[in-house]
Amino acid sequence: MEINAHTQLCGVIGNPVEHSLSPAIHNAAFQKLGLNFVYLAFRVEAIGDAVKGLRALGSFRGASVTIPHKVAAVPLLDVVEPTAHHIGAINTIVAKGGTLTGYNTDATGALRALHEGAVALNGRQVIVLGSGGAARAIAFALGAEAEIDRLIILGIDARERAALARDLQSKMGMTVQESSLDERMLQNVLPDTHVLIHCTPMGMWPNVHETPVPATLLHTGLTVMDIVYNPRDTRLLKDARAAGCRTIPGLEMFLHQAAAQFELWTDQAAPVDVMRSVLESHFS
């Protein structure tokens, strides 16, 4: 596809973004449908300045928003879609008619990955590791979708995880426990946990040898979902399989949330088969 004055610009804004496969899958999808769009990766530290810059670009159509800007970007937009507003975090910006609107496709992407993995949630104890934008989206999605017996939020930032727990209890009526993410707490709660969802950057390329959970604490009967997708096989997932856990790779959530973003920007059905093929080719 020739890039010209009519090319529509999309991209990912975050820090880091060097590992991102979003440009590969979105550009392949644009090409498949013959759309005059291009998708780039932008390493951004000052999110406020970045949003001002995007407003100034007449060709800007939309952006993926990733770590660490998913919460900070919310007040910078003109409109926030009700689900994203409820969550308090966005991962998608859509520009139309001079208006920037925020959406959250992390929630739907995570739920679809769990559903396709046939993971039972009703009546179960679930641990979410992390309390940032992705963790917020997934926790609210779980509350809207299932009758979870008990949700446990474990994170490093005490203020952030406490705020998430309060929001879930007040807005969703959920039973939520929050605490620091450390080995002693994991020892206490993991034996009775059915589903563990990892929502921090730990283990993401290039720090591929890191894991938030010691391998000795993992057990058969536990489903482990890691939303880190690069590498495809994180250390957490390797340890979980070795312990007899069911595992769901981050590639699944990433694919489904990206397809939803594509459709918001283009108003066309995403070529999911093409996007999946490109993703898998990067790990073959």
What is the distance between the alpha carbons of residues 254 and 161, in angstroms, rounded to a whole number? 23
Q: Can you say how many angstroms the Cα of residue 139 is from the centroid of all Cα atoms in its chain?
A: 11
What is the distance between the alpha carbons of residues 263 and 35, in angstroms, rounded to a whole number? 12
The angle at the Cα of 103, spanning 57 to 80, to the nearest 5 degrees, equals 85
Q: What letter would DSSP give residue 193?
A: -
pLDDT digit string (tens) for 208-263?
999 999 999 999 999 999 999 989 999 999 999 999 999 999 999 999 999 999 99
* Prediction pTM value: 0.88
Residue 284 has pLDDT above 80, yes or no: no
- Tell me what pLDDT residue 68 has: 93
User: What topology does CATH give the domain 107-248?
Assistant: Rossmann fold (3.40.50)
What's the residue count for the chain?
284
Q: What is the mean pLDDT of residues 18-43?
A: 96
Of 116, 97, 100, residue with least CA distance to 108? 116
105 phi, psi to nearest 5 deg: -95, -5
- Tell me what pLDDT residue 135 has: 95
- Tell me what pLDDT residue 19 has: 85
What is the distance between the alpha carbons of residues 161 and 154, in angstroms, rounded to a whole number? 7
- Tell me what pLDDT residue 83 has: 86
**Which residue ranges make up each domain of the chain?**
8-104+253-281, 107-248
Per-residue tokens: 143: 């509350």
Architecture of the CATH domain 8-104+253-281: 3-Layer(aba) Sandwich (3.40)
pLDDT band (50, 70, 90) for residue 2: confident
What is the distance between the alpha carbons of residues 106 and 104, in angstroms, rounded to a whole number? 6
Cβ-Cβ contacts under 8 Å for 170 (sequence gap 6 or more): none
Cis-peptide, bond into residue 206, ω within 30° of zero: yes
What is the distance between the alpha carbons of residues 109 and 254, in angstroms, rounded to a whole number? 7
Catalytic-labelled residue, pool 32, 70, 96, 238: 70
Domains 8-104+253-281 and 107-248 share a fold: yes
198 phi, psi to nearest 5 deg: -95, 120
Is 70 an annotated catalytic residue?
yes
Q: Please, are residues 68 and 81 in contact by the beta-carbon 8 Å criterion?
A: no
pLDDT digit string (tens) for 135-185?
999 999 999 888 999 999 999 999 999 999 999 999 999 989 999 999 999
> Interhelix angle for 250-266 vs 272-281, to 10°?
140
Q: Please, are residues 236 and 264 in contact by the beta-carbon 8 Å criterion?
A: no
